[in-house]
Amino acid sequence: LAKTTQPISMDSYEGQEVNITCSHNNIATNDYITWYQQFPSQGPRFIIQGYKTKVTNEVASLFIPADRKSSTLSLPRVSLSDTAVYYCLVGDEKYGGATNKLIFGTGTLLAVQP
C-alpha cells in the first residue's frame, strides 16, 4: 500500500523560503505527486502537481528527484497567510500502477511567525 510520510510540523518566519519534504517510497511508475493546502474549517486546495524533475507555478515549486521516492514543496518568501496544513498525495500502487484510490499523508502544519 502506497504511503506518504511528512514532518508533522514546521516553523518559519515571514519572508523566508520553506521546503516541505514528502517521502513516498512505493510510488507507482505512472503516478503523479500532488500537493494541497488546507486552512482550518476549509477543504484542501490544490497547490501544485508534478511527475519528475521540477515544476513551478505562481505560488510554489515542486522538486522531484530521479528516483521519485520523495518530493519537496518549496514556498518562496512565506507570509502569515501561508500558515496552514500541507498534504502530499499519491495514488495507491497496490495494483502495480497508479489507481483511482488516493492516499493522503497526515500533513505538515506550517506555522509562519512575524
Chain residues that interact with another protein, rule: CB under 8 A: 31-32, 34, 36, 41-46, 49, 87, 89-91, 98-107
Closer CB to another protein, residue 90 or residue 112?
90
Closest distance of CB 69 from another protein, Å: 16
- Nearest one of 105, 89, 90, 103 to 27, comparing CA atoms: 90
Closest contact distance (angstroms) between CB of 16 and another protein is 25
Q: Which is nearer to another protein, 17 or 95 (CB)?
A: 95
Q: Which is nearer to another protein, 80 or 102 (CB)?
A: 102
Q: Per-residue DSSP letters for 42-99? A: S--EEEEEESSEEEE-SS-EEEE-TT-SEEEEEESS--GGG-EEEEEEEE--TTSS--
The one-letter amino acid at 50: G
Closer CB to another protein, residue 63 or residue 104? Answer: 104
Q: Residue 27: which of 62, 60, 71 has the closest Cα?
A: 71
- Considering the complex, what minimum distance in angstroms separates the CB of residue 34 from another protein? 7
